[in-house]
Homo-oligomer: A and B are copies of this chain.
Amino acid sequence: MTSTDSTDLLDIGEVIEASGVKASTLHVWEKAGLIDVAQRNGLRRQYEPEVMTRIAVIVVAKRAGFSLDEIGDLFTPGIFDEGKTLLTSKLDELRQRRDELDAAINGLEHAIACPASSPFACEGFQSTLPDVLPVT
């Protein structure tokens, strides 16, 4: 029997190259419980190929504004199972954030199209300001 049964595991170097995420960052994410190490070859970490999906999720979630702790919650089976309430409330947050983002985009589009000398002189921009105050 050849050593083919570990052929599908990825060295950290491969993960780094394929993902663009640095080793130090992967270590941090691992310590935060976001990614698992399948096994070690000596000291060296070896990952299941699925780690790439995981990393993609983390990257997307971070851009969406999740903290590492919150991302960890998404990965916790119990939390996911129990009525998915956490996920649902996250979803609400995300929707709201998207709406705000949309408002910001519209505002900036107005401001760019406008001859005014600053966003504040552009009433199209002004009108897109949601009543975000008081900050909750």
Contacts and interface: CB of A to CB of B under 8 A. Distances in A.
Nearest to A105: B94
A101 B98 contact: yes
Nearest to A119: B74
Interface in A24-82: 50, 52-57, 59-61, 63-65, 74-75, 77, 80-81
Q: How many copies of this protein are present in the complex? A: 2
B87 A129 contact: no
Interface of A is mostly: helix
Contacts of A102: 98
18 contacts: A19-B135, A20-B135, A20-B136, A21-B135, A53-B126, A56-B130, A57-B119, A57-B129, A59-B135, A60-B103, A60-B129, A60-B130, A60-B132, A63-B97, A63-B100, A63-B132, A91-B112, A94-B108
